[in-house]
Amino acid sequence: MPEGEEEAPAAPTIDLPTLLGPSLKGQVLTAGEDGETMAFGDVQTSDALSEKNAIGIYFGTAASQELTENLKKSWSVFEEKGLQLVYVHCAGAEEEAAPAEGQEAAPAAALDEEAYAALCSAMPWLAVPLERPKEDLLTALGLAFEGEPLLAVLSIEGEVWTTNGVACLTEDPEAQQFPQGPWGGKPPGPPELTDHDFFEKLGVIAPEPGEAGIKGIFINSKNYITLNFVDQVEEDDDILFSGGKLKSYTIIQKSFVIDQVKKMGFASDFHPQQKDFEKYPLEDILLMFDPGKAYGDKIIWCTTEDAYNREMERINGLKQVIIDEHNAAWAAEHGGGGGGGGLAGQDEPEENIVVRDVPKDCKEWVSETAEATHSEVQTQTIGNSRPLLQVMITRPRAQFGKTTKYSDSGENLHNCRPQKDHNFAPPKKELEFGIQAVKETRTCACQTTWFRPVNKSTQYSPGDFLQPEADLGLDKVDELSLFLSAVSVGVEEALQTNETVDIFQEEFAHLGEEEAGAVTKTHSKLKEHPNFHDVTYTKGKRIEWVEWVPSSSDMVVSSCCENLPFTERLETSGKASVSTVLVWSFQDSLSPHAILVAPWEVTVFKFYPSDSKYLIGGLGNGQIAVWKLADADLGHAVRDKTSSQSARGNGLEEEKSSTIPTVSHKQISMIDESHRRAVLAIEFMPATIEVERRGKGASEKNPSDAPIKYFLTVAGDGQVMIWDFQSLLDAINDNDFLWRPVHRVQLQRQDSGTEMGLCHILHCHDRYDDKGNKLLSTFYASTEEGELVFGDWAARGEEDRKAEVVKKLHASSKTFRPMLSLERSPFFPDILLGVTDWAFYLFKDGLNDHLFQSSYNSIYYTRGVWSPTRPSVIFLGLTSGGIDIWDFSDQSHKASLSDTGASVAITSMIFCYHGDLMQEQKLAVGDAQGQLHIQNIPRNLIKPAGRELDNMRKFLDREENRVKYFQERHQELRDMKDNMEKAAQMAADAAAAEAGKGADDEDKADQIAESAYKKLEMECKELLG
């Protein structure tokens, strides 16, 4: 601004909505009997002024036809440029004519509503109602109506541009310069950027790694649209922020997060960090998109107020930069933002530039330091002074991988003394050369085993091994003499008849067999039947699964798997191989009775309960295979060797193909519809159950004597599949039959959403809900981390939530290792046995915690089974090959007996449930070296005591009461803690209130003392005059 020139005063601003009133008059589209027609009616002022840039107020009368016609001619231009014109009727001369001298005043010919409507209907703009006063508008604009029409133009914000609009219209009749030029309006500024424009220009604005107060959080992709991270869930090329393309940041409310966690619980994405959100001091929460996952997840948030303020300041700074760039670009495009920018650019002379496309001439490269470089390299280069030597070192093949033992014995020492030989004395030369530095060497040493013989001697005194004279028992010589006299006759007879007698045996030791608690009796050792193994099929393998042939106590089936480490198994994964399932007979323990061939390793198999000719097996690649066996294969009939040889085909070894028949699978499931990992458990469902379509539920529609139709399978991929075996039997000979599960569910962890690997499964047959309805779709399963899961494969999901298949999770047995066995007690259907590496657990159906946990064992467990005849006995296999026998009727803090089941680690155990179990009981034990052992259980571990079942039930009830007591006690302690915290908080608040009240009382006392002092002072002054 030039010196001495004062700044122009700001234009006045008028509150247009208040002066114009809530409504205006104009042409309105109304619906009538003849359809929609235009009629003169009310228009809301806010609607009339919306989306307008300026407003013109036209003061006139019925006689102002000339200005009206001029405005009509240019009205389309005004309307296109955002002008809203409002007509204000003022009383004209024809309405306020003064009476002639000597005549009476005639009544004013004021317009009525009908005439005013007819006048305004001829105008395409709006009008102020006739009854509304006009003086306020005139006063606000500083105008006075004297009969001539007036036109004032204002901005939509109420800033007055001009009050002489009639002259402006005369100068610019077609409104080409509006709102600039004579109209006095400002040029339009750049358009405002929307939030979508900001997000598009911002891009990724994640903070640098290591910033304080930043934390990652996992957000489900389906919740992005709820948090305003995307505009559409499905990815669309026409929509920028859709699918996985997220906005750079979003702001949510803390109350929204807390309410969602309370409503959804652990299903909410904010539940894992609920405490952090509760401690957050602000209401606004900043979420940012970090595709690099510098903080663990691609969604991060500010956990402190300082971090929030820092990041918002950075974001606002980036926004301001975008706004400045946008305004600068708009100004450059529109001639510098108005003023004279465009005209100034026209005054500059245009520069004439001529571009010629001429090929470039390549010149020879010239280096000033090339010769110096070549000479320096030549100086540092060492050339060979002689041709290279070729040396070949050989070693006998027999010494490859041979074990070598080093010894420091003095007998084998050989000295190598130096010898001088002038024929091989090399001439010495001096050579200056450079080498590149390398890392420093480090010297280390190790000590070998000491095999050197050393002489040692030990001297002792005989008195060291004798007890003191007080403990020699010399006073009991008479008792010993009486004892020897009593048994001497029996010993002499035994020696004469060549018999041995246990002179320490008690005559009544075997009486009282029916009494409970008698487990440590004589003859408690397991007796092994000749084991089964074969050099061709089982050497170097482990027995993965064992089953007894139904209705037979001398036929057993086992599957073998390779003992490969993880690296070798990884190399062979995905490659088909030949695996075998062997059928053994007690009549021939040297070779298998029959061989079942499978394309993959058989990890688990079971006989079909309704027809034992069918064997269902789970393979290592996740498929389900079915074999059909003949009666001769199961030992029910005598095999015809000639016919069996011609019918079976070639075996695995030509030498045994003529004697051992092989059976191939009849059907196998589709690999794409099967498990993704090895099948680990098969569970048959009751025959009465019928699964509804798509697994929506189950019902008992089938008769109880009907063949079993469905069975369940689980694997490490966390899927529970239901298979229809009846449909397979109908198409057992159809090679084009595609076998797939009728229903499948995926078990996921509720906290992280990851797959929950499964190991075992038990179907719940007799379980009822609170209303007494029988539950047919529930099951118990064990996980690869040692947990017990209670689920429902028919669970239904809601609109915004997935189906919750996992109903309950027992994490008390979690060892981060797979649960090795999950068995249901044959005497207590609601009691489950779960075996882990270190301990075993007893669970009760319906109880939230485990019923019993054993003490930790120094040797890892591998398997566990219930005794089929004794309710309180459990057999546990060990990695050392031993078997621990727990008898709860005897003791519950450690194993009652320990015996040997194999020489190496036990891999599988199963009892034979056929025949008279009270007379003969057999336990099949498979080990890690491919040997199958058959253990005969001693009589005292077969026959239960008289009150053993009742005592075991009392023991379980006592443990259940203990668990419930601790749960109730824990709840009482939690409630007591909450009450104590509330009482402490209330006491602190009361103390603070008392402290405030005491301060107020002290202030009042000070005021009273001050007033008394003032009064005493005044009295003293009056007395002193």
What pLDDT sits at residue 993?
A: 84
What pLDDT sits at residue 865?
A: 94
HSE value, Cβ hemisphere, 13 Å, CA-based, for 33: 0
Q: If residue 852 lies in a helix (H) or strand (E), which one and from where to where?
A: strand 852-853
CB 760 within 8 Å of CB 789: no
pLDDT single digits (tens) 57-108? 888 887 788 888 888 888 888 888 888 888 888 875 445 444 444 444 333 3
pLDDT single digits (tens) 868-887? 999 999 999 999 999 999 99
What pLDDT sits at residue 107?
A: 39
Tally of CB atoms within 10 A around 467: 8
pLDDT single digits (tens) 224-276? 888 888 888 888 888 888 888 888 899 999 999 999 999 988 889 999 998 89
Q: How far is CA 28 from CA 39, 123, 125, 243, 927, in A?
A: 5, 13, 11, 45, 95
CB burial of 206-220 (b: ≥16 within 10 Å; e: otherwise) equals bbeeeeebbebbebe
pLDDT single digits (tens) 535-557? 888 888 889 999 999 888 888 99
The token duo for 562 is: 């390779």
Higher pLDDT, 43 or 728: 728
Residue 802, SS3? coil
Query: How far apart, in whole angstroms, are the C-alpha atoms of residue 76 and residue 631?
Result: 101
Query: How far apart, in whole angstroms, are the C-alpha atoms of residue 132 and residue 113?
Result: 12
What pLDDT sits at residue 638?
A: 63
Which pLDDT band holds residue 465 (cuts at 50, 70, 90)?
Answer: low
Mean pLDDT of 315-338: 78
Query: How far apart, in whole angstroms, are the C-alpha atoms of residue 201 and residue 339?
Result: 29
The answer, yes or no, to whether residue 904 has pLDDT greater than 50, is yes
Residue 865 backbone dihedrals phi, psi, to 5 degrees? -140, 155
pLDDT single digits (tens) 569-615? 777 776 767 889 999 988 887 888 899 999 888 999 999 999 889 99
Which residues fall within 8 angstroms of residue 13, CB to CB, at 6 or more apart?
157, 158, 159, 160
Least Cα distance to 452 among 485, 395, 410 occurs for 410
pLDDT single digits (tens) 14-56? 777 777 788 888 877 676 666 667 777 888 888 888 878 888 8
Residue 471, SS3? helix
E strands within 879-980?
882-887, 897-900, 906-911, 922-927, 932-936
Least Cα distance to 811 among 874, 876, 894, 750 occurs for 750
What pLDDT sits at residue 714?
A: 94
The token duo for 800 is: 């915004």
Residue 925, SS3? strand
Query: How far apart, in whole angstroms, are the C-alpha atoms of residue 626 and residue 597?
Result: 11
Higher pLDDT, 494 or 841: 841
Where would I find the H helices in 154-230? 165-171, 195-202
Which pLDDT band holds residue 519 (cuts at 50, 70, 90)?
Answer: very low
The token duo for 543 is: 């027995």
CB 930 within 8 Å of CB 944: no
Q: Which of 125-139, 173-187, 857-871, 932-946 has the highest mean pLDDT?
A: 857-871
What pLDDT sits at residue 834?
A: 93
The answer, yes or no, to whether residue 327 has pLDDT greater than 70, is yes
pLDDT single digits (tens) 652-679? 445 454 578 889 989 999 989 999 999 9
Least confident of 566-570, 741-745, 935-939: 566-570
Query: How far apart, in whole angstroms, are the C-alpha atoms of residue 571 and residue 574?
Result: 9
Question: How confident is the prediction for the chain on average, in pLDDT?
Answer: 81
Mean pLDDT of 284-301: 90
What pLDDT sits at residue 386?
A: 85
Q: What angle do CA 565, 571, 575 make, to 5 degrees?
A: 115
Tokens 């600039």 belong to 180
Residue 322 backbone dihedrals phi, psi, to 5 degrees? -65, -40
Which pLDDT band holds residue 187 (cuts at 50, 70, 90)?
Answer: low
pLDDT single digits (tens) 681-719? 999 999 988 888 777 788 888 888 889 999 999 999 899
| Residue 435 DSSP class | -
Which residues fall within 8 angstroms of residue 772, CB to CB, at 6 or more apart?
none
The answer, yes or no, to whether residue 888 has pLDDT greater than 70, is yes
The answer, yes or no, to whether residue 192 has pLDDT greater than 50, is yes
Least confident of 32-36, 464-468, 783-787, 832-836: 464-468
The token duo for 394 is: 């050989």
pLDDT single digits (tens) 439-457? 777 787 776 666 667 777 7
Where would I find the H helices in 265-340? 274-279, 305-333
Which pLDDT band holds residue 958 (cuts at 50, 70, 90)?
Answer: very high
Higher pLDDT, 189 or 12: 189
* % the chain with pLDDT above 90: 20
Higher pLDDT, 565 or 759: 759
CB 586 within 8 Å of CB 529: yes
CB burial of 803-820 (b: ≥16 within 10 Å; e: otherwise) equals eebbeebbeebeeeebbb
E strands within 61-120?
83-89
Q: What angle do CA 531, 534, 540 make, to 5 degrees?
A: 100
Q: How far is CA 799 from CA 524, 544, 545, 752, 796, in A?
A: 61, 44, 43, 20, 10
- CB under 8 A, 24+ apart: contacts of 44-53: 45/17, 45/20, 45/21, 46/17, 48/24, 48/84, 48/126, 49/16, 49/17, 49/84, 49/156, 51/82, 52/82, 52/83, 52/84, 52/156, 53/81, 53/82, 53/83, 53/155, 53/156, 53/179, 53/188
CB 901 within 8 Å of CB 877: yes
CB burial of 667-695 (b: ≥16 within 10 Å; e: otherwise) equals bbbeeeebbebbbbbbbbbbbbbbbeeeb
What letter represents residue 281's amino acid?
P
Q: If residue 914 lies in a helix (H) or strand (E), which one and from where to where?
A: none
The token duo for 896 is: 């009652």
Q: Which of 130-144, 177-191, 240-254, 636-650 has the highest mean pLDDT?
A: 240-254
The token duo for 662 is: 């092989």
Which residues fall within 8 angstroms of residue 708, CB to CB, at 6 or more apart?
608, 609, 610, 684, 685, 686, 687, 725
Query: How far apart, in whole angstroms, are the C-alpha atoms of residue 137 and residue 147?
Result: 16
The token duo for 39 is: 């009629």
Q: Which of 19-33, 203-217, 795-809 has the highest mean pLDDT?
A: 203-217
What pLDDT sits at residue 807?
A: 87
Sheet arrangement for strand 906-911? 527-532, 932-936, 922-927, 906-911
Query: How far apart, in whole angstroms, are the C-alpha atoms of residue 675 and residue 715?
Result: 7
The partner residues of 27 in beta bridges, in order of sequence, read: 40
- Helices 305-333 & 195-202, crossing angle to 10 degrees? 100
How far is the first Cα of the chain from the last one, in angstroms, to the nearest whole number? 72
Which pLDDT band holds residue 624 (cuts at 50, 70, 90)?
Answer: very high
What pLDDT sits at residue 340?
A: 39
CB 790 within 8 Å of CB 808: yes
Least Cα distance to 927 among 558, 599, 616 occurs for 558
What pLDDT sits at residue 102?
A: 43
Query: How far apart, in whole angstroms, are the C-alpha atoms of residue 66 and residue 68?
Result: 5
The answer, yes or no, to whether residue 517 has pLDDT greater than 60, is no
